[in-house]
Amino acid sequence: AETGYDLWLRYQPVEAQWRDRYAALVTQVTAAGGTTMLVAAGELRRGVAGMLGYDPVRRETVIGDGAVVLGTAQSPLIAPLGLPLAKLGREGYLIRSAAIGGKRVTVIAGNAEIGVLYGVFRFLKLIQTRQSLDDLDISDAPRLAVRVLNHWDNLDRYVERGYAGQSIWDWQKLPGHKDSRYTDYARANASIGINGTVLTNVNANADVLRPEWLARVKALAEVFRPYGIKVYLTARFSAPIELGGLKTADPLDPQVARWWKDKVDEIYRAIPDFGGFLVKANSEGQPGPSDYKRTHAEGANMLADALAPHKGVLMWRAFVYAAENPDDRHKQAYTEFQPLDGKFRDNVLVQVKNGAIDFQPREPFHPLFGAMPKTPLMMEVQITKEYLGFATHLAYLGPLWEEALQADTFRPGKGSTVAKVLESGAATGMAGVANIGSDVNWSGSQFDQANWYAFGRFAWDPQAKAEPIARDWAAMTWGNDPAVTGPIVRMMMESREAVVDYMTPLGLGHLMATGHHYGPGPWIADLARPEWNPVYYHKADARGIGFDRTATGTNAVGQYAPEVAARFGDRKRVPEQFLLWFHHVPWDYRTRSGWTLWDELIVRYDRGVAAVEAMQAAWKPLAGKVDARRWEEVRDFLAIQRDEAGWWRDASIAYFQSVSKRPLPAGHAAPA
């Protein structure tokens, strides 16, 4: 029975008419080269065996009709073709129908072997999605250099905000035993262009930097290397004290810098292609340079200098909000980081979450994007659904990421989208907080695999669109019957808006229950830090609801470019989806539909629940059209989601009614 373990690489047999067409064009695999080339040829044979039902002959040189020729620009078979590879960079590829020695072949070429592997996955996708293999002329290259997963995995295998079981890193058996799952993990990531993985949690202790742990990291790096995936580690800023026995971790102390340099050299001796570090500093209790009255730049640069001789990069997170700072949490990252523009080393990437608060179902784009033109910024998104119903709620995050990436920062001028900001600068990248765990289906649910898949696609091309990605994923994961993929893609495309509607409509945010962030808690007001309490975010009172971030309030809008600030700051011009994010609005305010705000809120909560019911209705007739086990899992999860969408709606309306004292509309019970 299908479990979902194969992800989007199921390689199921194609229909007979397609098999004959494809088989004529895929008779043999011709490849010579190193380990990545072997992996590429192996994947191609595996895909063909699964989808077309035979093992194409593997040859090094002799070519027949229907050969798929894999090679780099230097390969003897490829070089004479004079292919336009130069502009494609190290990771780009080209797929072309061509003739070699009078034989009709398909060439998959890259400047390096990793490009060839990416090309093979693309070629297999053509078959998976039933595209023609005739007259191919495809070229592609990633638009961002660092495309990394961030695992929030602790060394005891607990995954912070993970809803898919334990960490897949089975440290106890490493380095002696390399689970075959690591190879499948690498295949899946390579298939979507992910080229790095941060193995450890940003909140983890420093132990992973100890020699006995580095030996295990090295073993993982060896599995991932042929797939073009580098390993990175989180570096706890206080490691020189905890591991090195120093009295301080002050970044300007020469002994501290020396300790890090030695540590980095030690890592590179074991792992010559080590990617670098990811650091969470002076955030939520983590140590950092401010402990020594140093800036983020001083802290980051010290580590960056240790990594630079090895070409390592340092990802320094901008997710900061200080307990002592009574100002709007929305403003803190900008306040601390923007003045440091231009002060970071070239191999530092400042890692900025898509929004200024924290991975909510909807947030406006982070004001730092565009505001630090002299500093490479990368974007961090959360693939795991901490605030969107964990693994049980169906929420395809493609539209959320597309919305963030397509947001116009107006810096330096109109048309400067977040995507363009990410693509500019000496270093570029995107990070996704992984949703991967030891569950057989990897991500905790069948549909959450789509978010892993989509992350890879957006990191490769931040200009990508969510819908075609959903279509590809649906076809590869659930088969090519339009009667199946049609409803699935519609469900996916509407799912995130449904979550916004039943959890946090009209620009509300951060109303989740304490700690676990699952389920509603808009009434919570008693947590130690004001900005942890949902009441801090919605500010509902007898007069109205919403957070005034305009000039009459915290003026967080002032951190955006003037054009953006003018739009967000004007109640009449702000996109309604951000209304309560930026404005405190009276309950009787008329929304664009003509409802009062109070009624509009209720309409949205109802709409969210109805959208989940519509997903249930769309899923039901797919019984028998998809395999039973996965179908049942989705059915069950949708039922859970329906119940909990209702819980969100009813609890939220009941609570807000107790504040607004407005009448409850028909069909809504009075609070118990």
- Site residues (vs ligand GCW, CB under 6 A): 152, 160-161, 202-203, 280, 284, 319, 358-359, 386
358 is catalytic: yes
To which residue do tokens 């002076």 refer?
282
Q: Which is closer to ligand GCW, CB of 387 or CB of 568? A: 387
Q: Decide whether 333 or 454 has the Cβ nearer to ligand GCW.
A: 333
The nearer residue to ligand GCW, 250 or 358, going by C-beta atoms, is 358
Minimum distance from CB of 207 to ligand GCW (Å)?
Answer: 17
Q: Quickly count: other Cβ atoms within 10 Å of residue 553's Cβ.
A: 17
CB of 293 to ligand GCW, least distance (A): 23
Min dist. Cβ of residue 302 to ligand GCW (A): 21
- Classify the C-alpha dihedral 349-269-110-31 as positive or negative: negative
Tokens representing residue 202 in the block: 């940003």
Q: Is 365 helix (H, G, I), strand (E, B) or coil?
A: strand
In angstroms, the CA 71 to CA 20 distance is 26
Q: 67-72 and 28-31 as β-strands: parallel, antiparallel, unpaired?
A: parallel
DSSP assignment of 518-583 equals -SB-TT----SSGGGSHHHHH---SSEES---STTTT-GGGGS-HHHHHHHT-TTTS-GGGHHHH-
Contact 398, 471 (CB under 8 A): no
**Shortest CB 457 distance to ligand GCW, Å:** 23
CB of 202 to ligand GCW, least distance (A): 5
> Taking the complex as a whole, how short is the minimal distance between the CB of residue 283 and ligand GCW, in angstroms?
6
Q: Are 607 and 501 in contact (CB under 8 A)?
A: yes
Question: CA–CA separation, 229 vs 273, rounded Å?
Answer: 9
Nearer to ligand GCW, 359 or 568 (CB): 359
Active-site entry in 55, 284, 570, 632: 284
Strands 196-198 and 230-234: parallel
CA–CA dist 568, 547 (Å, integer): 12
- Note if 494 is an active site residue: no
> How far apart are alpha carbons 63 and 40 in whole angstroms?
18
In whole angstroms, how close is the CB of 188 to ligand GCW at the nearest point? 23
The single residue of 250, 298, 386, 531 carrying the catalytic annotation is 386
Return the number of the residue (388 or 475) whose C-beta is nearest ligand GCW: 388
222 included as an active-site residue:
no
512 vs 597 by CB, closer to ligand GCW:
512
Strands 348-353, 377-382: pairing is parallel
Q: Which of 358, 403, 461, 501 is catalytic?
A: 358
Among residues 163 and 359, whose Cβ is nearest to ligand GCW? 359
**Nearest-CA neighbor of 172 among 209, 219, 205, 204?**
219
> Judged by CB, which is closer to ligand GCW: 160, or 613?
160
User: What is the residue-wise DSSP string for 461-527?
Assistant: -TT--HHHHHHHHHHHHH-S-HHHHHHHHHHHHHHHHHHHHHHSGGG----BPTTT--SB-TT----
Scanning the structure block, which residue is given the tokens 């004479």? Answer: 80
Q: How far is the CB of 390 from ligand GCW (least distance, A)?
A: 13
- Nearer to ligand GCW among residue 125 and residue 280 (C-beta): 280
- Measured from the CB of residue 519, what is the shortest distance to ligand GCW in angstroms? 15
Beta partners for 377? 350
Element (H, E) at 118: helix 113-128
The H or E element that residue 606 is part of is: helix 597-619
Whether the CA torsion 451, 459, 167, 284 is positive or negative: it is negative
| CB atoms inside a 10 Å sphere around CB 494 | 18
Q: How far is CA 465 from CA 102, 193, 251, 562, in A?
A: 40, 16, 42, 28
Cis peptide bond N-terminal to 175, omega within 30: yes
Closest approach of ligand GCW to the CB of residue 386, in Å: 6
Q: In the 8-state DSSP scheme, what is residue 166?
A: S
Minimum CB distance to ligand GCW smaller for 386 or for 501: 386
Beta-sheet pairing, 196-198 with 146-150: parallel
Catalytic residues: 284, 358, 386
